[in-house]
Structure 1
Amino acid sequence: MTEPFLIVEHEGAVLSARLNSPQTRNALSEPAQMDELVELCNRVRRDRTVKAVVLSGEGSAFCAGGNVKDMRERGGIFAGSPHDLRESYRNTIQRIPLALYELDVPVIAAINGPAIGAGLDLACMCDIRIASDKALFAESFVKVGIVPGDGGAWLLPRAIGMQRASLMAFTGETIDAAKALEWGLVAEVVPADRLITHALGLAQRIAGNASHALRLTKRLLREGQHMRLDSLLEMSAAYQALAHHTHDHLEAVNAFLEKRAPQFTDR
């Protein structure tokens, strides 16, 4: 039986998932891999106990992007005619940004090693990126004669600005963790042996807040990227009305005034 592509662990309110194909540096080429990532998002959407997700990779890489050997052999998601390829992209890897980027639960990318091509774009689908000091980054599609097919042309400029995104996409060259931090591609760089502990600690801090407020806040941040201010204010007013009438809001206020830790019940 084929091993699952994702190793998933759920402890308390934090779910962690690791890409589990270290022999291919966690490359993305098989439809079943895409299905697992999308189903993970569906699972988290259904599970109200999850308040934060940490995504990382097994082995030395975070994700090496598309499998170049499959590209050469026109296998995996790269098989078939141009029409077949278009439908393959739409029905496999392009489902990931729609599922992951739109997930209401905050997602932290713990980038343990190279994040290349689709691997970099996968990291950009997450809300917060924390890099190991061994991490490397490249929007490398042009190096193998193709274009970002998974949303990278939309994601990367929003992470680091159009000029730097253009520099990465037009050259395909690699930057290290220090440069990624300087450019705002990642929020933090930590020693490799502390990465997962640090990311899980951050996830626990996030998960210590009220679930409804977290989910609504993430939705506002996402919608605010493409809405007018007046439209976002209307949406914020509606979300705020919902938040004010939750039990967890009253619990948070009482805990603050009573100088104690809140006990949230997702109500």
Structure 2
Amino acid sequence: MTNLIDLSHNMQTFKELRVQQDGHVLLVSLNRPDIHNAMSHEAMVEEIERVCDLANNNSEIRVMVLTGEGKSFCAGGNVKDMLNKTDMFGGNKEEIEQSYKTEFSVFLCPYGISRSPLLPP
């Protein structure tokens, strides 16, 4: 990629993600290498939803690439938070179940860039 434009602080504030644009490509990196980019709190999920909205509402973006900083793409849910029942894994059984249905729904259904066709006919 050449001429990367760092959007992490330009268009919106992202703390959990690093967002860059190169032409029609939006490069989104999970940016919590200290915890192997684990989904540990609602902020990361909310930022992923926001960056998907940003991409869907920007006709210049044709492709979004999701990657992870550090040596891991994404460890999944943060096992320490699950064990301690903290952050997005806190609460009783019903609250945790509801959190999975709402917070992780972004990963359970197609969400990314939904415009089509990407190439002219």
Check if 1:5 corresponds to 2:10: no
Instruction: Name the structure 2 match of 1:213.
Output: 117
Quick one: distance in 1 between partners of 2:67 and 2:57? 22
Q: Secondary structure at the match of 1:49?
A: coil
Whole-Å separation in 2 of the counterparts to 1:72 and 1:31: 17
Give the TM-score taking structure 1 as reference length. Answer: 0.38
8 A Cα contact 1:14 1:51, kept in partner: yes
CA offset at residue 95 of structure 1? Answer: 2.6
Instruction: Output the CA distance in 2 between the equivalents of 1:88 and 1:65.
Output: 15
> Residue 99 of structure 1: CA displacement?
5.2
State the Cα deviation string for residues 123-172 of structure 1 (Å, max 9, x = none): xxxxxxxxxxxxxxxxxxxxxxxxxxxxxxxxxxxxxxxxxxxxxxxxxx
Unaligned stretches of 5+ in structure 1? Answer: 106-211, 216-247, 250-267
Q: Structure 2: 5+ residue runs without aligned partners? A: 1-13
Q: How do residues 1-267 of structure 1 correspond to structure 2 at under 5 angstroms?
A: 4-98=15-109, 100=111, 103-104=113-114, 212-214=116-118, 249=121
CA distance in 2: counterparts of 1:34 and 1:8, whole angstroms? 14
CA distance in structure 2 between the aligned counterparts of 1:213 and 1:93, rounded to whole angstroms: 27
Count of residues paired in the alignment: 108
After superposition, the CA RMSD in angstroms is 1.9
User: Can you list the C-alpha shifts for 1:163-182, whole angstroms capped at 9, x where unaligned?
Assistant: xxxxxxxxxxxxxxxxxxxx
Cα distance in 1 between the residues matched to 2:59 and 2:110: 17
Q: Secondary structure of 1:60's partner?
A: coil
Q: Which structure ranks higher in relative contact order (CA pairs < 8 Å, sequence separation ≥ 6)?
A: 2
Paired AA for residue 66 in structure 2: L
Structure 2 length-normalised TM: 0.80
**1:80/1:73 CA distance change after superposition, 3 Å:** same
State the distance in 2 between where 1:50 and 1:82 align.
Answer: 40
**Partner AA of 1:213 in structure 2:** P
8 Å CA contact retained: 1:37, 1:96: no
Output one character per residue of 1:76-113: Cα deviation in whole Å (capped at 9) or x when no partner. Answer: 21111111111111221223333535x325xxxxxxxx
Structure 2 equivalent of residue 189 of structure 1: none
- In percent, how many aligned pairs have the same letter? 31
| Distance in 1 of aligned mates of 2:25 and 2:111 | 16
Q: Which residue of 1 aligns with 2:11?
A: none
Q: Which runs of 4+ in 1 moved over 3 A?
A: none
Distance 1:104 1:54 in 2: 14
User: What corresponds to 2:10 in structure 1?
Assistant: none
Q: Name the SS for the 1:214 alignment partner.
A: coil
